[in-house]
Amino acid sequence: MAKVESRFKPNISFLKAFALTVRHQRNTQSLSQEELSRRAGIHWRYLQEIEAGIKDETGLAIKNVSLGLFYALANGFSVSTTDLMTLVEETLNNLDKKNNANFKQ
């Protein structure tokens, strides 16, 4: 049987914004990676991978995440998934503004 190639390509900007938001929220709430991972029900190394991820040319983390993980982290932060998504979107908008400002120079 022939291997089927996936045409899905993750949105790298969104994943960067997600990683930055998770790290920022964790630090804002003064949570260790161990404490947040315990609250979210995930292994602390997985959280570490989300925050650190693989690096792209800008040095920002890229780690694809599932909806289940997104939900677990929202619970770990004691916020709704809507609130967490809003924070990620704000970070994404700030990254876009920064990238646009750098592009215009």
- Which residue type occupies 26? R
Beta strands in 4-82, from DSSP E residues, in sequence order: 54-55, 61-62
Confirm whether 6 is domain-assigned: no
Q: Which residue, chain included where needed, has tokens 């967490």?
A: 84
Confidence (pLDDT) at 7: 64
pLDDT confidence band for 60 (50 / 70 / 90): low
Q: Maximum distance among all alpha carbons in the chain?
A: 52
Q: For 13-23, how does the pLDDT look when each residue is reduced to its tens digit (9 = 90+)?
A: 888 889 899 99
Confidence (pLDDT) at 13: 82
Domains contained in the chain, number: 1
**In sequence order, which residues have a C-beta less than 8 Å from that of residue 22 and are 6 or more positions away?**
47, 50, 51, 73
Domain span holding position 48: 13-104
Beta strands in the chain, from DSSP E residues, in sequence order: 54-55, 61-62
Confirm whether 49 is domain-assigned: yes
d(CA 47, CA 32): 10
pTM for the model: 0.78
- Which residue type occupies 27? N
Confirm whether 19 is domain-assigned: yes
Q: For 6-48, how does the pLDDT look when each residue is reduced to its tens digit (9 = 90+)?
A: 666 667 788 888 989 999 999 999 999 999 999 999 999 889 8
Q: What is the CATH number of the domain that holds 17?
A: 1.10.260.40
d(CA 41, CA 101): 39
